Amino acid sequence: MNIGRTGTGPVTAGLAIETRGLSKHFGRQAAVDHVDLAVPHGTVFGFLGPNGSGKTTTIRMLLGLAAASAGTVKLLGQEMPDRLHDVLPRVGALVEGPAFYPFLSGADNLHRLDAAGPHTVPATRRARVGRALERVGLEHAAGKRVHAYSLGMKQRLGIANALLSPRDLLVLDEPTNGLDPQGTREVRNLVRSLAHEGTTVFVSSHLLAEVEQMCTHAAVMSAGKLVAQGPLAELRQAGHTRLRLVTPDGGAARQVLSRLGLSPEPGASGPALPGTGQPGQPEPGQGSPDGETIVAALDAAAQPPEVLPEDVVAHLVQAGVRVRGFAVERESLEERFVALTGEGFDVAQ
């Protein structure tokens, strides 16, 4: 489904998207459950979650394509759906995949879609269609019938439709679906350039790697609930910090960690493989430690103040524990999201 109408307006201060208690029920099933979104203007905002987590249903409610069971929605500072006809001309969207006339060319499809908008300017249509096709890298296929387009080309044509006129907000549902690596890079660069020009871009995706490379902010959905949101850097920092210790004196090391209020993570310790700093995962450049790998969360100490890594090493050495490897690791964004949702994310296209 494509939504793309002409028109721009003044960008209101504050949030481009704001929801309060947004919910959608299908019978007794809550597809979206009291979601409070806050999308700042000018950001590239990743809407992240496993398939089936409620992302597309939320987007449909944002755009007035589905009625909410409860809660409120504001787009560009305006109440939805009450101000739908004022707001949608300032919004471009690609939702649930592009739909086109298969036996018309890409350019002809865009001409028809633009002509269907009540606020479009016929005199500038040809130039705008040409610019949109060029921007998504389809100028060479403008005259080709859409039934001959690949899925990736159809995705890009859908984005071109959303870009036929300047937008204050662009909503893209899985925009890199079906794209090859080169097409994915092109879409990523396009999104960044739009944000640089002042457009807020709201990108729904289940691809963690794409969100990390493209977005400045993110929200995480799980089973219809919003479990985290904020700047990407803050979401990264919210994860646990762990120490990884390699020593032949496992028993003594555990006693020292226990006195410091630290406990090894369940299943995180065991015999170190030759040439590794951790069990079961060979790592080049770690030497050949002969001993045991112990992992413990530094920010989960039983007693304050927080234990510093250098303090841990000093206590180990004072107790006669031989330290053959020591590292401090921050929980990756992937691990953080898996901890929040209990499910894995695709991390590659």
Is 315 in the same domain as 202?
no
Task: Look at residues 237, 253, 276 and tell me which one is the last residue of a structural domain.
Answer: 237
Report the alpha-carbon distance of residue 208 to residue 176 in Å, rounded: 12
Question: The dihedral of CA 158, 179, 334, 201: what is its sign?
Answer: negative
Same domain, 88 and 106: yes
Distance of alpha carbon 339 from alpha carbon 35, whole angstroms: 19
Range of the domain at 133: 2-237
Q: Quick one: how far is CA 339 from the chain centroid?
A: 15
Rounded mean pLDDT, 178-196: 83
**Residue 304, C-beta contacts closer than 8 angstroms, at least 6 positions apart:** none
At 224 the pLDDT is 92
pLDDT in tens, 248-262: 999 899 999 988 888
Those residues with Cβ within 8 angstroms of residue 140's Cβ, 6 or more apart along the chain or in another chain:
none
Q: Compute the distance between CA of residue 143 and CA of residue 74 in angstroms, rounded to an integer.
A: 39
Length of the chain: 349
**Most confident residue range from 27-36, 210-219, 273-282:** 27-36
pLDDT value for 277: 39
Q: Is 327 exposed, middle or buried (0-12, 13-18, 19+ CB in 10 A)?
A: middle
DSSP 72: E
Residues 65 and 9 in one domain: yes
Residue 50 to residue 224: CA distance in whole angstroms: 10
Per the domain annotation, does 221 fall within a domain?
yes
166 shares its domain with 300: no
Per the structure, the count of domains in the chain is 2
Q: Quote the pLDDT of residue 322.
A: 92
The secondary structure of residue 105, as a DSSP letter, is B
Average pLDDT of 2-28?
A: 70
How many other CB atoms are there within 10 angstroms of residue 151's CB atom? 12
Tokens linked to 259: 């006195």
Q: At which of 237, 272, 305 does a domain end?
A: 237
pLDDT at residue 148 greater than cutoff 90: yes
**Checking DSSP bridges between strand 200-205 and strand 217-222, what pairing results, if any?**
unpaired
Is 325 found in the same domain as 232?
no
CATH code for the domain of 318: 3.30.70
